[in-house]
Every structure is written in structure tokens, then in C-alpha cells.
Structure 1
Amino acid sequence: MTVYGYARVSSKGQERDGNGLEVQERQLKEAGCSEIVSEAFTGTKMERPKLSALIERLQPGDTFMVAKLDRIARTSLGGCELVRDLMERGVTVRVLNMGTIEDTPMGRMMLTVMFAMAEFDRDMIVQRLAEGMEVARANNPDFKVGRKPVSVDEHQFRDLTKKVESGQITNQQAWEELGIGKTTWYKLRKAA
């Protein structure tokens, strides 16, 4: 009988910056998880590499624990199917801010309602974001979504590229010296 914890954030940026994962991991550890699996992946997709691997390892009598229900899924259908499958396999599902999900008519009804609320919450966030961008575009014709284009010193870029090609420095050393990220470095190299 093992207690497994699952922590999730939606993006690599959140994972890198520690937004949410550290708190979830601490809560799960304090609640008695002997192993915690963490990943950065959208909750709207049920095929998540680390979650899928964890689900395969669960045995009857094990406990699957999350800090909040929406860490399992942000869709009511996918979340309900996963939790019901776990309960049918004899795995206890515990959500820290809700308690243990009971395999009873009331428990299944509460599960469905709570996943529907999580999906609704996500849909509202997406809608508000789209409305906000629409207003921003209407008020500013130059409004653009995403990061501002990165500008680098062309001479320094060419010099660093030559050093990388001659083996004097690594790609990582070059992009760090320019103060840009890996993806930007390779985009600039491809465009050059």
C-alpha cells in the first residue's frame, strides 16, 4: 500500500519558476505521500507522460493523492473517467482540499460536479483572456500577443557563432553571454 502524490502545473514556465509545484509537493509530502510525481502539462490533455506512467504503476490498495481536483484534469469527462477507473481498480483517490472520493452515488455525483466546475473555471479564464486581447487590439492597433522580438548585437552574435563553430565555446555559453534563451539562440542561428 503506497501513497503516491501527483503535482501539476500547466506550463514549463510555471515549472521553471516554481509557481505552484513547490507548494503542491510540500502539501503532498506533509499529507503522507511516499512518492511524488510532478510535471508541467496542460490539464486539458489526459495523455500526460508522467501521469500515465504513474497510473500504470498503481496497484489495488494504493492511494493516488493530489492537492486540488483540477490538478488531475481540467475537463469533466477526462477527470471523471480517470478517477472512476482508479476506484474500479481498487485505488483510493484523495484530494487534499476535498477529502477521499467515495465510490458511492453521492461521491460520484460530487466528483462530476467538481470536475464540471474546474472545466467551467478554465473556460471562463480563456474567455476573459480572449476578451481582454480583443479590447487591447481595439485600443491599440500595434498590440501584439507574445514576447517582444529580441534584438542582439550583430557583431557579438557573429563573433560568438564563430567561437561555437570552432569549438572554443558551447552553444549554451554563447546564448548566456548574449543574454538570450536557447530557443532564441537557435532561431537566430537558423536565420543567419
Structure 2
Amino acid sequence: MKYLLLALSVTSSVAMATQMEGFGANYYQDDSSIPNYDTSKSLVPNVIIGDNVYTMEFSSLIDIAKTTGVTVNQGNQASWLCLASKGVNYWFISDNEMGQGDLTSIAIAKAEQQGNCSPYKGDLSITIKGTPLLDASFENISSIFLNKPNGNTVQYCTNTKNYGDFTQMNCLQYFFKNKSIKGVIINQITSN
């Protein structure tokens, strides 16, 4: 009996440590070779799910999970949930180090078959005013931002607030495949 309890506790903690798959797994990549450009454009996303509006670093994944009827996955680096809606997969992510369960990143990609994305039939919209996301073209991005994308990934960041020695910024990463948008990740970062 003692060994059965030990085996159950070991396997249940492993089962709870679920990593993102598919496009959402790009969240884990920390690649310093990705071109990073400052921009003066506002990169604050409007997040609407169902009848609710969510704000990065103020809304929790648990609130999103309650609205959508899904559970929050716990990984080693992040907590997250994935919704599939109208041909698009949306990963809502909270960084385990700083996020404390609050929404800190959103990954969006045209739907690829994902076992860990739950179907969602309600209203779901992620937009950034004046900035295209999945519907952007390589040329369109080149006309919106001063620095043209070069390669398979590019990141644009803007400072949003200063708190003493800390700066909060929003970043938008575009991922390309053959100069077509593969997906985007929106991050809110606080650094010193």
C-alpha cells in the first residue's frame, strides 16, 4: 500500500507538468539571435473571450478557464490553456517565475491538429489596434514597422510603463514560413 501511494504521487506530479505543444511550444525558446526592434506603436492586446474582456498581468488564467470551461495546465516554466476556435489555436500563458497565474503571454497560430487545445465555440478575439496579427503579410509588416523583418522570426517591443527601476514592455513576435505568417506571440515583460 505504501508503495502504491508513492507511485501514485510520483506519476500524478509528472502528469500535472504538461508542456505546450505545436506552435505554443515556441514560448519556451529563448533565442537571442531573433532580431528585436523598438517601436513607438502601442502593442497592448484587446482580449475578448465570451462576454469578458481580459487584461495582461491583471486577468488570471483561472478566470479565462472558468469562462471557457477548460482546465489550466501546469508546466515547469508556465501555466497555460489552449483554445481552438474558428480555425485558430490560442494559447493563454502565465510565466511561472513572474506571472503568478496572471496572463503574461498569448500565442496565436492557424489551427494545426492539437490534442491539448480545447474546442471553444463562444466569441474569442485578440487584436492590437492598427497592427495585424495572423492576417498580416510580410510586406504589410514592413510598411507598419520601421524595421523590416529579416528571417523567420522578428520581435517588436514598446515600453508601456515605468515603475521605479522597472520597465514594463509589450512585445510582439511574428513567426514566418516562406514569408507567410505562421503565428504570433504577444508578451508582456517587466524588467529592470
TM-score in same-fold range (> 0.5): no
Structure number with greater Rg is: 1
TM-score of the two chains, using structure 2 as the length reference: 0.22
> Which structure: greater helix fraction?
1
TM-score of the two chains, using structure 1 as the length reference: 0.22
> Which structure: greater strand fraction?
2
